[in-house]
Amino acid sequence: MLDALQGEFGVPGVVEFVPGRNGMPTVRLRHPSGAGAEAYLHGAHVTSWTTPAGEELLFVSRQSHFAAGRPIRGGIPVIFPQFGPGALPQHGFARISEWHVRRAGQTDAGVSVTLGLAQTPETLALWPYHFDLELQILLRENALALTARVVNHDPRPFDFAQVLHTYFRVADIEQAAVLGLQGTTYIDSLRDDARETETRAEIRFAGEVDRIYLNVPDCLRLRDEGNGRTLTLQKQGMPDVTLWNPWVDKAQRMADFGDDEYREMICVETGVAMATPLSLAPGQQWQGETIFQVENAPA
Ligand code: TA6
């Protein structure tokens, strides 16, 4: 399989298809600057994004599963068509499905691979709609751009959510801050979904947080003070943002997450319809994008 993918889509030293953990097929992108990214075809799951200097910007749990039918803990889970619990498996089926390679290559814009998922007998059994879901992963010198597109190929409208559930690596959660959410309304999942207004210009972390922010400005920042780094998140078509850190107690209850790993990660998730599903008419499409940029990359 990997040889066939390499033959059809590969570019030696730039786009390479190689076995990942447990031999699961992955695609590795290498930018001329030295920046790198890696994604599993399982879930179209980005598990690594590194700077030209080789610094890892994403968090993946040392206890993550890498197996069919199981989500990878960390990186960038692709959430579709359901966010959170509900009639479908938690966070939907896209992150535990096997995606297909559609395009790959290098242009002036960067090094990219596009992965796709359409209905299968398994998804139809869970969610009886014909759809197409595509994710483009574009690597630049100091940026990673993820563009998601959903098309309704069914004769009926369907409701969906699409979220990039990104786990950022930080040196120490208590030396990290998220900026750009002041004045927005959030739903506090830890307080019976109470709706509040965010009053802080700079959000810091000292305990479990699980909040869905609605209709958020399209530019956010994550300051990782312990690493002397700031990441900018520039989004479009993805109005909602979730902040999540499990902290101690929840971390200890998660089999695929180390008890102390909460200290080295923060989820800043971007997407659409996190609180209220979005309806898509037959033949219509939705597209959204988030560009992660290292703001002050060392020269
Ligand atoms: O995005 C926040 C959240 O919905 C949390 O409530 C927590 O469940 C997290 O996602 C991880 O969910 P997972 O199904 O990947 O364990």
- Among the listed residues 165, 261, 264, 289, the single catalytic one is 165
CATH topology of domain 2-296: Beta-galactosidase; Chain A, domain 5 (2.70.98)
Domains of the chain: which residue ranges? 2-296
Q: Is 16 a catalytic residue?
A: no
Point out which residues pair with 186 in neighbouring strands: 196, 213
Grouping H, G, I as helix, E, B as strand and the rest as coil, residue 263 is helix
Nearest to 220 by CA among 256, 262, 257, 267: 267
- Closest-CA residue, ligand 1 atom 10, reads 84
CB of 244 closer than 6 angstroms to any ligand 1 atom: yes
Atom 6, ligand 1: residue with shortest CA distance: 210
Report whether residue 91 contacts ligand 1, using a CB cutoff of 6 Å. Answer: yes
- Cα distances from 195 to residues 113, 152, 190, 275, 296, in angstroms, run 39, 32, 11, 11, 35
116 lines ligand 1 (CB under 6 A): no
Distance in Å from the first CA to the final CA of the chain: 39
Nearest Cα to Cα of residue 47 among 22, 82, 83: 22
Distance separating alpha carbons of residues 63 and 59, to the nearest angstrom: 12
Q: Burial letters for 57-68: b for 16+ Cβ neighbours within 10 Å, e otherwise?
A: bbbbbeebebee
What distances in angstroms separate CA 65 from CA 73, 74, 129, one per listed residue? 7, 10, 29
Residue pLDDT tens, the chain, 299 long? 999 999 999 999 999 999 999 999 999 999 999 999 999 999 999 999 999 999 999 999 999 999 999 999 999 999 999 999 999 999 999 999 999 999 999 999 999 999 999 999 999 999 999 999 999 999 999 999 999 999 999 999 999 999 999 999 999 999 999 999 999 999 999 999 999 999 999 999 999 999 999 999 999 999 999 999 999 999 999 999 999 999 999 999 999 999 999 999 999 999 999 999 999 999 999 999 999 999 975 54
* pLDDT value, residue 299: 46
Number of helices (H), then strands (E), belonging to the chain: the values are: 3, 23
- Report yes or no on whether pTM surpasses 0.75: yes
Residue 297 has a pLDDT of: 57
Distance of alpha carbon 285 from alpha carbon 228, whole angstroms: 40
| Residue 90 pLDDT | 98
Contact 188, 244 (CB under 8 A): no
**Residue 233 near residue 208 (C-beta atoms within 8 A):** no
